[in-house]
Amino acid sequence: MTNPALKTLFHPFEAGELVPPRAGARVLFLGAEPGFRLPAGFDAAIEAVQGFRPDVLALSAAGIETTPQPSGTGFDAALVLAGRHRGLNERRIADALERTAPGALLLVAGGKEDGVASLRKRVSGLATLEGQMPKFHGLAFWLHRPADPASIVAALRAANQPLLVDGRFRTAPGMFSHDRVDAGSALLAAHLPAALAGSVADFCAGWGYLAASVLDRCPKVEAIDLFEADWAALEAARANLAGRSARIGFFWHDLLGETVTRRYDAVVMNPPYHRGRAADPTLGMAMIGKAAAALRRGGRLLMVANRQLPYEAILATAFARFEEIARDRDFKLLAAVAK
C-alpha cells in the first residue's frame, strides 16, 4: 500500500506553490518509498536514499536506483519523507541541510498520525520556514537552505546521538528498540540452550543483541548469519559483533521477498508483527515458513512472540513438532523441530 504522505510531499508542486526542479538539477530524496509519481515539470534527477530492504527492492523494480545512505554534496533540492521515528526524521533533515547547496529547497512531509506537526514545530524553532500545506491527512513544509546551516545541523544531531545500550551495543534513532534491549528478545536470550551448536541464523537480527547472546551463551555455535532488512541496524550489528571468533555473516535481506539459500542447524528470531501501525500476524506466520525452509532436517527454531499472536497452527503445519518453553506476562517462547 502506497504511503499517502508521498502525495502530500509532492502536492506543493502540483498546487503551484513550489516550482518543480528542472532538467539538470540534482535532488536528494531521503526516506524514499515506492509508489510516488513525479508532478508535471519535475524533470530533475533524483538520488533516492532508503535503508529498508523491501522498499529498496520495490523502488528498484520501478526503475529507481536507491542507496542505503546519502552521499555527495551540492544538491539543488532535497525531499524528506518523514516517518514515525522523530529522531530519524531529524537526522535526515540534518543530512539534507549538509548535502544541499546554499539556497536549495528543502521540502519535508509526513502523516499527521506520525507526528509531522511536532516535527514542523521543532524545525521552525531552529530555522525560518517559508510555507506549509496540509493535504491527504498529512502536512508538507519547506524552507531554503541558509548559507551556513551549521547551528541547525548541530542542534538536530545533538538531540539524536547514537546510544550505548546495555553498556556495549551501539544503536541509533530509527532502529527497532534503539534505546533499550527489547523485552521479548531478552526473554529469548535468557532461555537459549547452551547445547545449541553448529550454524545458526538470526532472522530479523536488528542491531545484534540476539546474535551476541547466542555467541555468549552457546559455545558450540561455530557460525552465525544475521539477516536484517534495516541497513543501518545491520551496520550497527556488524560493529557490535566485531572481534568475535565465530564465523559471522551479515545479510541485508528481505526475508519475505528474497530467498535464503543456506541451510542451518538452528534459527532464532523475534519477528515483526506490525505493518506500519497496524498489527499483522501474517508477517510472523510468513517468517515461520521461511525459518522452516532454512533449517536442515531436525534443525531447531527458537522464537519469541507476543502471547496473543496465533502462531501455533502454522508451527504445527510447518514443523515436525513444537512446544512452548516459557512465557511471562507479555511474551511466549516457542521451540520447533524441522521436518
Is residue 183 within 8 A of residue 306, CB to CB? The reply is: no
The mean pLDDT value for 129-149 works out to: 97
Domain count along the chain: 2
Q: How confident is the model at residue 140 (pLDDT cuts 50, 70, 90)?
A: very high
For residues 110 and 229, membership in a common domain is answered with: no
The mean pLDDT value for 48-60 works out to: 97
pLDDT, tens digit, 9 for 90 and up, residues 289-328: 999 999 999 999 999 999 999 999 999 999 999 999 999 9
For residues 149 and 262, membership in a common domain is answered with: no
Question: For residue 71, which of 102, 21, 28, 108 has the smallest C-alpha distance?
Answer: 28
For residues 183 and 84, membership in a common domain is answered with: no
pLDDT at 165 > cutoff 90: yes
CA geometry: angle at 124 spanning 123 and 128, to 5°? Answer: 115
For residues 83 and 175, membership in a common domain is answered with: no
pLDDT at 273 > cutoff 90: no
Q: What is the CATH number of the domain that holds 292?
A: 3.40.50.150
Instruction: Look at the block and give the residue holding cell 511474551.
Output: 331
> Which one of 141, 158, 175 terminates a domain?
158
The mean pLDDT value for 251-278 works out to: 91
Q: The whole model's pTM is what?
A: 0.95
CA dist 259 and 212 (Å) reads 24
Residue 196 is predicted with a pLDDT of 97
Mean pLDDT, all residues of the chain = 96
Task: Please say whether the dihedral angle defined by the alpha carbons of residues 44, 45, 50 and 55, taken in this order, is positive or negative.
Answer: positive
For residues 154 and 172, membership in a common domain is answered with: no
For residues 97 and 170, membership in a common domain is answered with: no
Measure Cα distances from 8 to 15, 77, 228 in Å.
11, 17, 30
For residues 328 and 230, membership in a common domain is answered with: yes
> Which one of 101, 124, 158 terminates a domain?
158
CA dist 81 and 90 (Å) reads 11
C-alpha cell at 210: 540476539
Question: For residue 27, which of 77, 91, 98 has the smallest C-alpha distance?
Answer: 77
- Host domain of residue 123: 5-158
Instruction: Look at the block and give the residue holding cell 510472523.
Output: 284
> Which one of 158, 181, 198 terminates a domain?
158
For residues 153 and 270, membership in a common domain is answered with: no
